[in-house]
Amino acid sequence: MRFCLPVVILFLIASLSSLNAQNTPDFIPEGTTYLWPTNASNYFSATFAETRSAHFHAAADIGTWAREGYDVYATRDGILYRVTISPYGYGTVIYLKHDDGSYSLYAHMQEVNDEIRAIADSVRFNNNYVYTFDEVLEHKNIRYRQGDFLGRTGSTGIGPPHLHFELRTPTNKPFNPKLVGVDIPDSVPPVFSAIAVEPLSADALVNGSKNIFTRNSPGGRHPNFGTIRVSGDVGLAVNVSDRADSGRNVYAVYELKLEINDELYFHSRVDSFSYETTRQMLIDRVYPLLVAGRGGYQRMYIADGNQLYFYKDTGRSGVVSLPSGTHNFRITAKDFAGNTTFAYGRLQVEEPRLLKQPKQFNNRWADSKVKQFQGQNHEITSLFHWDSAWIAPRNTGVQSLAIQPIGSPLPVDYYINLRPNEGIILPDADVFRFVVNETEHAYVHRIHPGKYSTINLPDSGVEVTFRPMSVFDTTHVVINRELLPNRDRIYVTPGLQPLQRDYTIKVLLPVWLRGVDGVGLYAFNERRNRYDYQTGVVRGDTLIVNTRHTGMFELRVDNAPPLVSRPAIWQRRADGRWFASVRAVDLQTGLDFDNAEFYVNGERGLPAYVPDNNQLRFDLPGWTPRRGANQIEVVVPDRAGNVASHSFTVNR
């Protein structure tokens, strides 16, 4: 049923936004207006192209005051294009396609309107009551007018309650809703929190160190970061944010410029991006600082492998390579409303030091010293900064290192004495054996972005394959296996580079795990201090997993069914609908909720899963529980095939 409440429309008329010809995307017809899509608030809780864990934010988030159930309206006339219902990602989301071929998306919804719900239910009930749904519905020719009711705001998928409002071009690229006037009052200028300087070349130092240098803002309207000593090629980055008049939330800035000696080195303005490049946020930001939880520093240079197209042509890449002397820089941060903040500083450029070459040592030394070493150390990457050609030690206390290039008929062995902040050029090989001492060694593999790289450790029963473009740029990876009586761990540890696409791990199962049901590979999640199951398949005696995770993995067996508890019957305030629910938890492989079964008084409903609170709901439109006793029956499998079956009696 499509309808508009007159009172709501009066509230929303003021939110009809006419296009600004200066900024309007060229595919949108002149005179087009966009309606603010909800009566929840006129407040952004997040804006376009902000930093997320592994991608750019593709929308404007509209705040709903930590509550659900506000109305959602069509921002423009359009046809119902697609509907997706899932407990993850965008959750419940509606796609409208407009006459110019562009799209609007309304995500994390609590509920869709009755018309859309009936379509989804007819498919789900006929598909063995599978909860998830993803269908293109354009062929049904269901049209909505601007302001028509689409559903209600919620918190399905990722995040607290809010409305994720996304606009896409006819070629399916997200673009900034502010370009079409969906905006809020803003007279607040951006604020610089800190600056970072990265050493990029083998001979680069920042304030005498190979570490990434950071300095907090001294404060003030236009902060001055003072003098920073550098040598070699370096890159500048800033931790900068924005706010608006009516909100407490911190937003991304719209535009950044870097000028050195009054010459433009870098200029970015984020109006749109492609979903194919959204993970390149990881190299648009300073990745080592991002993964360490130190903030989303935005690089003011275009890193190797970066294919984003919102950088303006300055004739430069933004990499700073200057002659000796003092050079002044100015950074400009601007929001969409034009509010501008400047930051200043100086680079004191010094002559770079000469790189040290590793010393060749004879095979007799290698035979007597290196090849007898038996230990292995997955932490060896923490000792070094490295790119495809050089390394530089951190201050770890390690004083010497043996390097063995692997793969040539007559490998040449090297020995080096390590000194902090001295760069060392690596020999030309794709595989090295680094030996620190008699108990610490590791194989280090050079991975190239444009080709397959298969790393086989036959003695360990591990094979790792990186596909073309798994990495953004040439990098190094350390791979080891730690096989102990009480645990079996695999380490895939990259250097200071993120992954762009997934890669494959093949693990030969130890004898005691062969033929065992429920065996799987789990990645250690350092932030949450837990192991996350990686979906894989066992073929013969080998476990095969495709993943983007790196770090520590562990082989584990899941032979325990999910835990089911807390049966309840309750009524939702927003629309008066009744639900039954249980708490279902599986701490290893996770629930296989699409194959769960949920019955109340013998009637089967959809098993709707809410991962935030581990709730499995009986979802059946129009259902009303009995007064008095109600019989709940659930069958809940996990992804390892273990099944929990429970019956409960609950009074209404």
- Please list, in sequence order, all residues whose beta carbon lies within 8 angstroms of the beta carbon of residue 296, skipping any fewer than 6 positions away: 51, 239, 285, 290
- Higher per-residue confidence, 9 vs 91: 91
Summarize the confidence of residues 424-446 as an average pLDDT: 78
Please, what is the end-to-end C-alpha distance for the chain in angstroms?
Answer: 31
Q: Please state, in angstroms and rounded to a whole number, the distance separating the CA atoms of residues 467 and 447.
A: 10
No. of helices (H) and no. of strands (E), the chain: 5, 49
104: tokens are 């609007």
pLDDT on residue 232: 92
Chain segment 602-650, per-residue pLDDT in tens: 999 999 999 999 999 999 999 999 999 999 999 999 999 999 999 999 9
Summarize the confidence of residues 172-185 as an average pLDDT: 95
pLDDT on residue 421: 67
Chain segment 401-434, per-residue pLDDT in tens: 778 787 665 567 777 777 766 777 777 778 887 8
pLDDT on residue 645: 98
Give the pLDDT band (50/70/90) at residue 351. very high
Beta strands of 108-217 (E only): which ranges? Answer: 109-112, 133-136, 143-144, 149-153, 162-168, 174-175, 191-199, 205-206, 213-216
% residues pLDDT > 90 (the chain): 68
pLDDT on residue 201: 87
- Residue pair 468/452 in contact by the 8 Å Cβ criterion: yes
% residues pLDDT > 70 (the chain): 90
pLDDT on residue 132: 96
CA distances from 532 to 231, 248, 537, 547, 586 (A): 42, 34, 16, 11, 11
- Residue 247 clears pLDDT 70, i.e. is over it: yes
Amino acid identity of residue 588, one-letter, is Q
Least confident of 80-89, 282-291, 485-494, 516-525: 485-494
Q: Could you identify the residue written with the tokens 């060392």? A: 424
Summarize the confidence of residues 301-320 as an average pLDDT: 92
- Higher per-residue confidence, 377 vs 132: 132
pLDDT on residue 365: 43
Q: Please state, in angstroms and rounded to a whole number, the distance separating the CA atoms of residues 490 and 505.
A: 9
**Is the entire prediction scored with pTM above 0.85?**
yes
Summarize the confidence of residues 377-398 as an average pLDDT: 68
Nearest to 76 by CA among 99, 60, 48: 99
Summarize the confidence of residues 387-406 as an average pLDDT: 73
Give the pLDDT band (50/70/90) at residue 3. very low
pLDDT on residue 440: 72
Q: Give the DSSP letter of residue 110.
A: E
Question: Phi then psi for 178, rounded to 5 degrees?
Answer: -65, -25
Q: Structural domains in the chain?
A: 6-180 (2.70.70.10), 191-349 (no CATH), 356-430 (no CATH), 448-557 (2.60.220.30), 563-651 (2.60.40)
Q: Please state, in angstroms and rounded to a whole number, the distance separating the CA atoms of residues 432 and 88.
A: 41
- Residue 214 clears pLDDT 50, i.e. is over it: yes
- Higher per-residue confidence, 481 vs 593: 593
- Residue 63 clears pLDDT 50, i.e. is over it: yes
Q: Residue 624 burial by CB count (10 A; 0-12/13-18/19+): exposed, middle or buried?
A: exposed
- Residue 369 clears pLDDT 70, i.e. is over it: no
How long is the chain?
A: 652
- Please list, in sequence order, all residues whose beta carbon lies within 8 angstroms of the beta carbon of residue 332, skipping any fewer than 6 positions away: 255, 256, 257, 259, 340, 341, 342
629: tokens are 């006793």
Least confident of 22-36, 111-125, 152-166: 22-36
**Which three-class secondary structure state does DSSP give residue 500?**
coil
- Residue pair 630/623 in contact by the 8 Å Cβ criterion: no
- Average pLDDT over all residues of the chain: 89
Give the pLDDT band (50/70/90) at residue 10. very low
pLDDT on residue 383: 67
Summarize the confidence of residues 158-178 as an average pLDDT: 95
Nearest to 101 by CA among 182, 173, 15, 16: 173
- Higher per-residue confidence, 421 vs 364: 421
Q: Please state, in angstroms and rounded to a whole number, the distance separating the CA atoms of residues 392 and 394.
A: 7
pLDDT on residue 13: 41
pLDDT on residue 362: 56
Give the pLDDT band (50/70/90) at residue 20. low
CA distances from 453 to 400, 406, 475, 503, 542 (A): 29, 15, 11, 10, 19
pLDDT on residue 396: 66
